[in-house]
Every structure is written in C-alpha cells, then in structure tokens.
Amino acid sequence: MSDATTRLLIATVAILTLSISLFACDTVNISYVTTRIGELRPIKLSDGSVITLNTDSGIKTRTDGTSLHVEVLRGEVLFAMQPNSKRHLSVSAGDLDISDTATVFDVRVSSDGQVLVTVQEGQVWLSAHRRGQLPLEHNQQAIRDEHLGILKLRKGLSSRSIEYQLSWREGRLIFGCERLSEVAREFNRYNLTKLEVDPRIENEEIGGNFSATDVTEFVGLMPHLDASIRWERTQDARGAPILRLYQAANSTLSTERYAPCNP
C-alpha cells in the first residue's frame, strides 16, 4: 500500500466504521478488529460511544449482554465513552486491567511491551495482576512495564501535551520540540516509506504540525526548519523505500532553527 493510499484511508475514515450493539441479545459475541499502517478505524457503539483504532492496531472485543471487554492486542486505541449506567466496559492490555464508566482515555501498547494509559477526561481505575485498583484521572498518565513489574504514574500533564499526543485523531502529528529520532519513530508508525536519521542530527529538536501520512512533505520542510539538514531517497536491503535525513557536508547545525526550539 502506497503512502497516497494511506492518506486516502485517513481522508475517508468517517465511512470506515464498525458498530457494536451492546444490548441486542444475551449471547456472547467475540470479534477482532485491526487496522493497517496509516489507517484509522472508529467503532461506534449503540449508546454513542466511540472506540477508535490508530494505525497498525488490533483489538479483541467480547460482548456479553450489557458488558463489553476490549483487549488491546497491539498499537493504540482511543476510548470516548458516553455516560451509560446500563453499560460495563473493561479494557485490558498485557497484565493491566482498566475499568471505565464515562471518560476519554487512550491505551497504547509499544513495541517493547510497555503499556501507556492517558486520561484526557474523567477517570478510570487501573489494576495490575488484579491486585487492588488505582484511580487515574484527567491529565494523568500511567506507564506499565510488565517485565519489570513497574507501574509509574504521571500527574499534572498539560492539556496541550495530551492534545499533541492525540493529534493522530485528525490525521496529524504535532510535536512540541521533540528529538528528531523520536519524530522519525512516530512517522514510521504511519508510513510504509520509512524515515531514517543521521546519528549526527538525531538529537536535534523539532516542533510543528504535520500530516501523519505524508512523510515526504515533512522531509521537504526540514531544510526550512534547519538550513544544515538535507534529505535523500534510498532503500533498504529488501528494496523498501527510505527517506534519509542527514547533515550537509562541511556544515554545522544551524542556529536558525524553528523558533520555539531555539536554545
């Protein structure tokens, strides 16, 4: 699938919807939903709630009467839940269980197995290995590392930082002065054409608002953000396309950078 195709998937996300009826019957129903690289997919529930899968994500859903359990298998999923006293939602990712009533929260499973839970509105309850419950409220975040047996809580996040994190909902990536290596890692989640960064510039900080599925546009802007940075097209050993950012020969990193990221 080309990058143009992934952009089309973003543009037509409104019609790529699935529906889960929580109240149709008392039978147990199990289903799987996945997305491809660059694709977003909203699942509309019968009460108006929406569960949205981000790029390259997968979930397993289990409905049983008024109960809905969602297991996040990979990737990232946003839950925007409406108040509903007749619905019970539980979410699991790795060994972390999440209970919700009415809130907006995001669950992301990283490639190294860490689970990141961010609450934008309302409150959820967390439990690891079913050992008690911890509340997680709006503008708070939890990071679960199952291998190390650690659950870290981050409180007092700014609303802006959470909006940046969830900008993928609109098909965008917004960075507030992030290391170029981290920016490349995010772009690579959404594009088949991968972005590589010269180690000499990987710690450069970049800020801005970019299309998540147009990595070519991003690299084309880089010389305007930092005059010492160039880019080229190449490919890996299997022939897969790569866009490589590198430092221009006989140059030093420019001090004329994107203004918010100046030292």
Q: Over the stretch 150-174, which tens digit does the pLDDT of each residue have?
A: 899 999 999 999 999 999 999 999 9
Q: Which residue carries 């050993």 as its tokens?
A: 237
Q: How confident is the model at residue 17 (pLDDT cuts 50, 70, 90)?
A: very low
Domain that holds residue 105: 3-162
* Average pLDDT score over residue span 21-47: 84
Q: Which of 92, 163, 78 is nearest to 125 (CA)?
A: 92
Residues 63, 96, single domain; the answer is yes
- Structural tokens at position 161: 């930082």
Residues 131, 22, single domain; the answer is yes
Specify the CATH number for the domain of residue 156. 2.60.120.1440
Rounded Cα distance, 97 and 115, in Å: 11
| Exposed / middle / buried, residue 255 (Cβ in 10 Å: 0-12, 13-18, 19+) | exposed
* Average pLDDT score over residue span 83-105: 91
pLDDT above 50 (res 10): no
pLDDT of residue 225: 82
pTM of the model: 0.86
182-197 pLDDT per residue, tens: 999 999 999 999 999 9
Residues 132, 53, single domain; the answer is yes
